[in-house]
Structure 1
Amino acid sequence: MKKEDKKALERYQKKLELIQQGGQVNAFETDHQRQAAIEKAKKDVRFCVKRYFPHYATSECADFQIAFAIMVLKDSNFTGFAKWGRGLAKSVWCNIIIPFWLWLNGIDMYFVLVGVSEKKAIQLLSDLKAEFEVNPQIIADFGEQKKPGSWNDELWVTNGGFIGQALGFGQSCRGLRVGPKRPSMYSCDDLETKKTIKNEKRQDEMVEYVEEELLASMDGENERLLFPNNWFAPVMFLKKLAAKHPDWVVHEVKAYDPITYEPRWKEKYTKAYYRRKEKKMGVTSAKSEYNHEAKLKGGKIFKSEYVQWVKLPRIDHFKAIICHWDVAYAGRVGNHINDGSDYNAVRIWGVYKEEFYLIHCFVQQTKMLPAVKYMIEFKKSLPKNVDVDFRVESQFWNDEVRRTVEDAKRELNAPEFNLTESHNKRNKFRKIIDELEARYQNGRIKYNIKLKHHKDTQIGMQQLFGIHHGYTTKDDAPDADAEAIHEGAKYIYSAPEGQDSWNSGKMKSVNQW
């Protein structure tokens, strides 16, 4: 036996021992009492946990755990995300308690647990397998469940008809079946890793796998899909799926209040626990893991410490406000935006003294129309004496873009909105480095502190941090930044003496359509 197989067997044996020792069957319970308890467990998942999983119930169940389980039970086509902070028992509920509770309620269960690899999936699924194998209360209520000849690590079937299967993410599940049965429930557990969040192309492939492989493999009355995972990064395949499928449930639970430290699962945790976590891990890391506040990590060229969060100068005190739109022609898959598409990036920069301030931004994988509407609405929000130079790269200035702009102007009644063509033919990487690197290093680029938790700003920062020699990540936001700052620099180095703001009327647009 291989060393790793031996360790896996030892882990499984310890699970069996834990379950056997934790369960205490009432030897004096009558058949009538037993049946009444089973019926109560069907209706009350809290009681179900106490009766069948006392080794997990070291603390009272939280209200959000109960609520999520009920949602999954009531909707035979439930698809949703257990977006719970770290330590809130996502895996226990999605991989053990909820599948068992559905089976207890007479729902036909062919449960597939998907892990980052088949080996990891087998390890995770073994928790439920062990319950059916030796849990004394399950055996007392429903008889022996271990079915001889059908008790493998990656696929097992109980005497009560529960089918469990482990699958590595990316493994083909086309034609997946046991006899006439096809999967009725998937749990995709902790598939987002530190590797996947650095590779957006991989994330796009993961989205495609869920939509074209997992969903297509179910064809019965019961088709449930769960994603237990905390959302710890700015760009994740989970976020992409949620954005593409707004009808899917995002059940968000933050572990603690960042101000009062009040725990969400107060039956298990204390305020002092999360204070200790912040002290040990650092506030940023703790909030990322426990409260879904995405942690941005700097890159090789552009580092996180270069980003300065400040209060903006008064909007009418800027020498110039430059808005550059990096156009993306978002492809479509059915009724959804293709996640492989570039981002429509609209970046609005203000020039004040000799520094550049990110005022606001729009960075989304979307069609062009929302980006144009965003620019128009921003213009409408400004005082009348403040102008913005709205720019777009000339190579994108075609008939389709013109039509989109005209559609937005008519819809929002903004006939005065105009875009200026920008003629910059430099290599994109060289342009980003030339315009941004030294200015970031010298502290001449500032970010509006009100955007610190703004999703589009975080995506833009993630793209910036991904810029390095030979990069393959998205670069729409930093490209737009480079264009806007290149134009804005003209007002630092060539503005007439005494001209403090752009709205003095000295600036003229060229090649305006």
Structure 2
Amino acid sequence: MTKAEKIALEKYRDKLKFVRSSGAAVNPDEPKDEKKARIDRAKKDVKFMVEYYFPHYATSECADFHVKSAKYTKKHRTGKQFDEWGRGLAKSVWDNVIKPFWLWMNDEAHYHVIVTTSFDRACELADDLKAEWEANPRIINDFGEQKGTGQWESGFYITKSGFICKALGAGQSVRGLRVKDQRPDLITVDDLETKETIANPKRQKKLANWIERDLLPTMDGPIRRFLYANNRFAPMMIQTILQERHPDWKVFHVKAYNPVTYEPTWHQKYPRWYYKEVEQEIGTLAAKAEYNGEPHIEGEIFKEEQIQWGKMPSLNHFKIIIGRWDVAYAGTPTSDFNAVKVWGLHGRNFWNIDNFVKQCKMRSPLEWMADFQMGLPKSVIVHWGFESQFWNDEVRRTIEEVEDDYGISLNLSEIETSGANKYDRIITLQSYYQNGRIYYNDKLKSHNDTAVGLTQLYGIEPGYKTKDDGPDADQSAISECSKYIYRGGKGQKPKVGKYERKRRF
């Protein structure tokens, strides 16, 4: 036996121990009618089925999206489905163990193919349910011994009841998948993406073609279910290629947490502030990509290499400091961001001094502005402004409340918005980036709000559908700062002088 085979065998033995240690007791003298009633209930109620047959997995109550996804799978015999759930939401367990078993109970799955990055990894995934057939006392008690006396290998097994499971590596030949008269009727693609495929769009398209033209056609008959389990952590993935080609395929996109309230989607498992701590540990962008399927966007117009970090001049050395607030009201996971961007003019260069970019209610950015202003040296003034189109009584009331609570005046000015298209306005910043006239405070390199704002900037391109609140505030602040650049000739005075404040109240 090779070293790799020994490691694989040891892993499988651990799986058997895991199944046997579940404490899933059975009553050998149970009346037949009670057993039948339980099985009949489990066939209809997937939540009950999980809790009874898989207590070692059901250490937390099933989430609503688990049940919803499973019901959809069962209802659609030829369904093509993406379980695009965030990290830690049990998509592999559901699509490789729970759903196949539940479908088998209902005579809806007979030949399961599991596909992932490599054959060895696919074998590991296939072994999860194989261990259940072999060692789960409740499955054995209700359905009899399932360990086959014939084909019972890692990566390819057939239970006594006739259920077949085959492991397959991505791109591997699909010839020979037919077993006698049986063809696959359930295919699961699990965690197919790697660093290599993410960096190689040609490879991604090749695998998407392989799924469409080679893998899916191996199914033949009235039942042809296809499950794809992977969180969306990058802008372009094999699953996004397939989704664009097949808009009628079902996508269950599930975020692990609400980015505004931090309420966990699987609240039965994760405590209230779990994901807030995760963001603090790995950063907002990484957390949103891995857990919420909001991948970091690579810029087509504004690029990372254009961002210059440097030691910021002293605040009292800036000619003017402008703060712009892009107002958002709702404070929901799908709402716009409240973005406050503070920029300063030093010589002919623009410096990003600080940032607030969050999906939240209006009070939070105002409190941030108050804290920022109170922390400034007495010789430094920041000129706050927001677009006049956002003005309403609620904005006014919130501003007054925060000013009263902090005992300060923010002197927020209403700014008339340019009639130019927002995209066109933001694009005007590109020349400043190209000419190396925009700098970012190097103390903000690990600042979450700054990173979120930059990600929005990278997403600006023709026809963009990403949020643009941060770049919009950037453009407004930088445009105002640019008015204070001295452009006159020798002996001439600057045309722009004292900054005029305007307030409605």
Match of 1:46 in 2: 47
2:438 to 440, 443, 451: 443
For 1:12 and 1:386, the matched residues in 2 are separated by 57
For 1:94 and 1:27, the matched residues in 2 are separated by 31
Q: 1:453 to 1:297 in 2, by over 3 A?
A: closer
- Deviation, 1:97, is 0.2
Match of 2:157 in 1: 156
Match of 1:13 in 2: 13
Secondary structure at the counterpart of residue 146 of structure 1: coil
- Deviation, 1:108, is 3.8
Match of 2:304 in 1: 303
Secondary structure at the counterpart of residue 250 of structure 1: strand
Over residues 148-192 of structure 1, what are the superposed CA-to-partner deviations in whole Å (9 max), with x where a residue is unaligned? 121011211111111100000000114521111111111110011
Amino acid across the alignment from 2:9: L
- Deviation, 1:437, is 12
Contact kept? 1:306, 1:440, Cα under 8 Å: no
Secondary structure at the counterpart of residue 158 of structure 2: strand
Over residues 80-111 of structure 1, what are the superposed CA-to-partner deviations in whole Å (9 max), with x where a residue is unaligned? 11111110000000000000000000124210
Match of 1:93 in 2: 94
TM-score, normalised relative to structure 1: 0.62
User: RMSD of aligned C-alpha atoms?
Assistant: 4.2
Match of 2:36 in 1: 35
Q: 1:258 to 1:140 in 2, by over 3 A?
A: same
Match of 1:258 in 2: 259
Contact kept? 1:302, 1:437, Cα under 8 Å: no
For 1:281 and 1:105, the matched residues in 2 are separated by 43
Amino acid across the alignment from 2:172: Q
Q: 1:440 to 1:253 in 2, by over 3 A?
A: farther
Q: 1:208 to 1:30 in 2, by over 3 A?
A: same
For 1:384 and 1:297, the matched residues in 2 are separated by 26
For 2:298 and 2:194, the matched residues in 1 are separated by 14
- Deviation, 1:313, is 12
Amino acid across the alignment from 1:67: K
Contact kept? 2:307, 2:439, Cα under 8 Å: no
Match of 1:191 in 2: 192
1:124 aligns with 2:121: no
Match of 2:139 in 1: 138
Amino acid across the alignment from 1:94: D
Q: 1:8 to 1:83 in 2, by over 3 A?
A: same
Percent identity among equivalent residues? 44
Secondary structure at the counterpart of residue 273 of structure 2: helix
Gap regions ≥5 residues in structure 1: 315-352, 356-381, 389-434, 462-499, 501-513
Match of 2:403 in 1: none
For 2:97 and 2:422, the matched residues in 1 are separated by 59
Which of the pair has more CA radius of gyration? 2
1:293 aligns with 2:303: no
Amino acid across the alignment from 2:248: D
For 2:421 and 2:174, the matched residues in 1 are separated by 61
Amino acid across the alignment from 2:37: A
For 1:452 and 1:438, the matched residues in 2 are separated by 15
Amino acid across the alignment from 2:253: E
For 1:162 and 1:385, the matched residues in 2 are separated by 60
Contact kept? 2:60, 2:269, Cα under 8 Å: yes
Amino acid across the alignment from 2:15: K
Over residues 270-300 of structure 1, what are the superposed CA-to-partner deviations in whole Å (9 max), with x where a residue is unaligned? 122212211211111111110111124799x
Counting only pairs closer than 5 Å after superposition, residues 163-312 of structure 1 correspond to structure 2 as 163-296=164-297, 303=304, 306=307
TM-score, normalised relative to structure 2: 0.63
Q: 1:188 to 1:385 in 2, by over 3 A?
A: closer
For 1:298 and 1:455, the matched residues in 2 are separated by 4
Q: 1:132 to 1:267 in 2, by over 3 A?
A: same
For 1:246 and 1:119, the matched residues in 2 are separated by 32
Contact kept? 1:307, 1:440, Cα under 8 Å: no
Over residues 414-443 of structure 1, what are the superposed CA-to-partner deviations in whole Å (9 max), with x where a residue is unaligned? xxxxxxxxxxxxxxxxxxxxx999827553
For 2:249 and 2:14, the matched residues in 1 are separated by 37
Number of residue-to-residue matches in the alignment:
362
Over residues 5-26 of structure 1, what are the superposed CA-to-partner deviations in whole Å (9 max), with x where a residue is unaligned? 2111111101101111212212
Contact kept? 1:113, 1:125, Cα under 8 Å: yes
Secondary structure at the counterpart of residue 159 of structure 1: coil
Secondary structure at the counterpart of residue 281 of structure 2: helix
Amino acid across the alignment from 1:151: W
Gap regions ≥5 residues in structure 2: 310-321, 327-347, 351-417, 425-429, 441-449, 465-494, 496-505
For 2:251 and 2:421, the matched residues in 1 are separated by 43
Counting only pairs closer than 5 Å after superposition, residues 372-411 of structure 1 correspond to structure 2 as 383=419
Q: 1:385 to 1:117 in 2, by over 3 A?
A: closer
Secondary structure at the counterpart of residue 21 of structure 2: helix
Amino acid across the alignment from 2:434: R
For 1:149 and 1:101, the matched residues in 2 are separated by 24
Contact kept? 2:306, 2:433, Cα under 8 Å: no
